[in-house]
């Protein structure tokens, strides 16, 4: 009788309890996460300003880097402020509706990052392997057609997993062992069968992360073969490719580890799982503008000009 009564209860408010295992040391996490958040906001804002304010950087490659900076700005804003307030003041309550909205925004942001990395790989493919067709396929109108298909795919898949999560009844407990509303972290609190949610989640990861990574890998394999055949002709262009590969390696690695930690048996503690998930969102947003700024000659040049301009302005 009591069990039936519990199953009829559906929690509509949850408590985000990430890193709770650290006990009294939990507030100390405010410092590193705040510094990373600050670095992300400042670095991506500067990168975005440099690209917008310099017409020489309005080519497709730099527009893609600018869009990545926008995505990297949005990602941390979606969860870090709430997490920081939780560390300091214990403000960790969130309603089911707010949780689902946050879930959609965060996962859609993640999918957009994957899509932009794919577009960057295609940009380098046309620039190096098909230069005569570069302007045709990468001009604004054709680029929008290119990016709209994966964005619609992302929207449909992320909306589906969020709607399925919203239809569940949550009666196991109201404490989410996470710092934000990650899909499986919430779904694990549901009573009843969640196999459909798990299956659709896996399908979403396959159709977004895996498919994008496959096409990215194929693009760079073709690029490497083309560069090896042409000798030193495209070595300069390869510098940008190496930059993209560094970013992709970090992003995909954190994403896959964080994603699979909920679906396969492992020895990760709840705090370790939360750390991997937060790093997947926060670490690339901190590193991307620095990597692009240091390794992309044109951006580095305009950044140094900006620094020199600031130095000569009288106080």
307-315's contacts with Cβ under 8 Å and 24+ in sequence apart are none
Strand, helix or coil for residue 14: strand
Q: Are 199 and 123 in contact (CB under 8 A)?
A: no
Would residue 268 count as lying in a domain? yes
Which of 39-43, 131-135, 189-193, 239-243 is least confident? 239-243
Name the residue among 201, 129, 130 with its Cα closest to residue 165: 201
- What DSSP assignment string belongs to 233-259? TTHHHHHHHHHHHHHHHHHHHHHHHHH
Would residue 192 count as lying in a domain? yes
* Max Cα–Cα distance, the chain, nearest Å: 77
Would residue 41 count as lying in a domain? yes
Taking only the tens place, the pLDDT of each residue in 203-222 is 998 898 888 888 888 888 88
Return the higher-pLDDT residue of 21 and 243: 21
Q: Tell me the average pLDDT across 69-86.
A: 91
**Number of folded domains that form the chain:** 1
pLDDT at residue number 3: 44
Confidence band for 292, pLDDT divided at 50, 70 and 90: confident
Edge-to-edge strands, sheet with 13-16: 93-95, 13-16, 175-176
Confidence band for 6, pLDDT divided at 50, 70 and 90: very low
pLDDT at residue number 4: 43
Residue 195: CATH number of its domain: 1.20.1070.10
Question: Is the pLDDT confidence value at 263 over 80?
Answer: no
Phi and psi of 210, rounded to 5°? -70, -45
Would residue 6 count as lying in a domain? no
Question: Is the pLDDT confidence value at 162 over 90?
Answer: yes
pTM: 0.86
Show Cβ contacts of residue 95 under 8 Å, excluding neighbours closer than 6 positions. 12, 13, 14
Percent of the chain with pLDDT over 90: 23
Would residue 5 count as lying in a domain? no
Would residue 272 count as lying in a domain? yes
Encoded tokens for 296: 């992309």
pLDDT at residue number 143: 76
Would residue 8 count as lying in a domain? no
Domain around 45: 13-312
SS3 track for 281-310: HHHHHHHHHHHHHHHCHHHHHHHHHHHHHH
Q: Strand 190-191 vs strand 93-95: parallel, antiparallel, or unpaired?
A: unpaired
Would residue 4 count as lying in a domain? no
Q: How far apart are CA 280 and CA 261, in angstroms?
A: 13
Name the residue among 74, 64, 35, 69 with its Cα closest to residue 49: 69
pLDDT at residue number 253: 75
Q: Strand 13-16 vs strand 175-176: parallel, antiparallel, or unpaired?
A: parallel
Q: How far apart are CA 20 and CA 22, in angstroms?
A: 5
pLDDT at residue number 38: 95
Return the higher-pLDDT residue of 44 and 5: 44
Which of 82-86, 134-138, 248-252 is least confident? 248-252
Return the higher-pLDDT residue of 166 and 22: 166
């Amino acid at each position: 009788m009591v069990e039936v009564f519990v199953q009829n209860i559906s929690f509509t408010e949850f408590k985000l309890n990430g890193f709770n295992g650290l006990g009294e040391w939990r507030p100390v996490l405010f410092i590193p996460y705040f510094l990373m958040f600050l670095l992300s906001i400042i670095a991506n804002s500067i990168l975005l300003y440099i690209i917008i304010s310099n017409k020489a950087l309005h080519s497709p490659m730099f527009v893609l880097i600018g869009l990545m900076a926008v995505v990297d700005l949005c990602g941390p804003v979606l969860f870090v402020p709430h997490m920081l307030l939780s560390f300091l003041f214990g403000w960790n309550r969130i309603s089911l509706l707010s949780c689902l909205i946050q879930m959609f925004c965060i996962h859609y942001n993640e999918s957009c990052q994957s899509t932009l990395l794919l577009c960057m790989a295609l940009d380098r493919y046309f620039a190096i392997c098909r230069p005569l067709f570069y302007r045709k396929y990468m001009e604004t109108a054709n680029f929008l057609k290119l990016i709209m298909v994966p964005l619609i795919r992302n929207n449909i898949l992320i909306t589906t997993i969020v709607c399925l999560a919203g239809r569940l009844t949550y009666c196991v407990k109201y404490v989410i062992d996470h710092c934000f509303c990650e899909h499986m972290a919430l779904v694990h609190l549901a009573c009843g069968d969640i196999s459909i949610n798990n299956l659709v989640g896996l399908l979403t990861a396959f159709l977004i992360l895996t498919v994008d990574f496959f096409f990215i890998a194929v693009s760079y394999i073709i690029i490497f073969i083309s560069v090896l055949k042409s000798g030193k002709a495209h070595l300069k262009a390869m510098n940008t490719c190496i930059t993209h590969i560094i970013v992709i390696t970090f992003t995909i690695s954190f994403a896959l580890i964080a994603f699979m930690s909920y679906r396969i048996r492992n020895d990760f503690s709840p705090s370790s799982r939360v750390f991997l998930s937060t790093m997947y969102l926060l670490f690339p947003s901190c590193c991307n503008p620095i990597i692009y700024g240091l390794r992309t000659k044109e951006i580095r040049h305009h950044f140094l000009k900006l620094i020199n301009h600031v130095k000569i302005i009288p106080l």
